[in-house]
Homo-oligomer: A and B are copies of this chain.
Amino acid sequence: MDKDEILKALANPARMDILNWLKNPEEHFPTQEHPFEMGVCASQFERCGLSQSTVSAHLGTLHRAGLVTSKRVGQWIFYKRNEETIAAFLQQLKQDL
């Protein structure tokens, strides 16, 4: 759990949006045809107006920071919030900050 890496990941509005949207997938990704238990399909995040490659990079940053988990199912990759890491980060920030 790298606090600095997480802070850098959070210090970007698009990535913050992604994390927030993942709190309510049903509400924010009504076009997804896959069940939400698997997570949200990567391509869904392009609805923020950014290109596929840019979205992929943002998801990579969030994943490297440990803020999301990913699972490949067939040709798709599904993302979920990593609530454990998020909670641990908030805990540590409360201590450190």
Contacts and interface: CB of A to CB of B under 8 A. Distances in A.
A10 B90 contact: no
A10 B97 contact: yes
Copies, count: 2
A4, A10, A16, A93 interface centre (most CB from chain B within 10 Å): A10
B11 A97 contact: no
A10 B7 contact: yes
Interface string A63-97: 00000000000000000000000100010011011
A55 interface: no
Interface of A: 4, 7-8, 10-11, 13, 16, 19-20, 86, 90, 93-94, 96-97
